Chain A
């Protein structure tokens, strides 16, 4: 088993993601430079957070055309688990692998804080080991994380169970106060229809060790590893 962490110019959570996998879980993981055109030999892909291409034009708009993204799109369509975290989520939306868009936080503030998330579905490779309704604590750190989609898309996300995480308060209630960026329906993360591609604004890669303030992020990576193992990727 080997997991790829894609590095775009301007990625800055690539090391966090790699360490979460290699140090947190002892799973083989390697960086994959965005100029590469193949992801053969890897079983899953992480698009890390950061400011790819300086967020020029729109967050993720230019990274989406990096050579590696062609291979990522192909692999995603063939069912490979892909997770985009923060800027990675923005890139997945720009690439059309996930519906909707992430716009400037309603407060216009860059939010950098620990939030509570409620797991809305266990039917993704990244939440398979998490109970539906369970609460996770992890940080957000973004200026453009307000999830937006039209009514039809939101209805589809709901009816298909594609909403993966929502911002909640510490007792698990969806409230306006617990929404750090103005996301519609308090959406913090979604998946595609095939359920193998997940995008989320909060950072599991910054919450995999008690010294980081939370270990909850580790559960997502453990779910991924469990899914890959049961699929036979030794």
Chain B
């Protein structure tokens, strides 16, 4: 099995539209490699959830203080958020993804999120 990695630049979508890279569950041939390969494109979606700027982040304050204690005196502020990696063979629609980010992965009262689309291609003979 040969695994090829396509590395398109991540597309950030926040909070609304930007072009979604067109990686559907597609198979095609890499004929220029001399042999036909079936390529299945996986889409990785990264969701970054951060406390809103207006919300006090006591965890971030504690980490900042610890950083100062270990000698990083120049650190001004730290905010602690979450990083989620979702993997799809069949990516959901943009609307659906926004919906799950808003309703489940983040709480809009206290958090902001952003979505990054990546993709990896797995090819096999």
Q: Which residues of B contact A94 (CB under 8 A)?
A: 107
Q: How far is the CB of A89 from chain B (nearest CB, A)?
A: 14
- Interface of chain B residues 6 through 62 with chain A (CB within 8 A): 54-56, 58-59, 62
Contact flags B87-125 to A (C-beta < 8 A → 1, else 0): 000000000000000001101011000000000000000
Known contacts A106-B58, A108-B59, A148 near B104 by CB under 8 Å: no
Q: How far is the CB of A79 from chain B (nearest CB, A)?
A: 25
- Interface of chain A residues 49 through 107 with chain B (CB within 8 A): 57-58, 61-62, 65, 93-94, 99-101, 103-107
Decide if the interface of chain A is mainly helix, strand, loop or mixed: loop
| A149 contacts B by Cβ under 8 Å | yes
CB pair B59–A100 under 8 Å, yes or no, is no
- For the A-B complex, the count of residue pairs with Cβ-Cβ distances under 8 Å equals 35
CB pair A101–B109 under 8 Å, yes or no, is yes
Known contacts A106-B58, A148-B55, A100 near B107 by CB under 8 Å: no
Q: How far is the CB of A8 from chain B (nearest CB, A)?
A: 16
Q: How far is the CB of B105 from chain A (nearest CB, A)?
A: 7
Q: Which residues of B contact A101 (CB under 8 A)?
A: 107, 109-110
> How distant is the Cα of A203 from the Cα of B62 in the complex, in angstroms?
28
- Interface of chain A residues 142 through 196 with chain B (CB within 8 A): 148-150, 182
18 A–B contact pairs at CB < 8 A?
Answer: A57-B104, A61-B104, A93-B109, A101-B107, A101-B109, A101-B110, A103-B55, A103-B56, A103-B110, A104-B59, A106-B56, A106-B58, A108-B62, A148-B55, A148-B109, A148-B110, A182-B56, A182-B58
Residues of B that sit less than 8 Å from A by CB: 54-56, 58-59, 62, 82, 104-105, 107, 109-110
With A104-B58, A150-B54 known, 10 other A-B pairs at CB within 8 A are: A57-B104, A57-B105, A62-B104, A65-B104, A99-B109, A103-B110, A108-B59, A148-B109, A148-B110, A182-B58
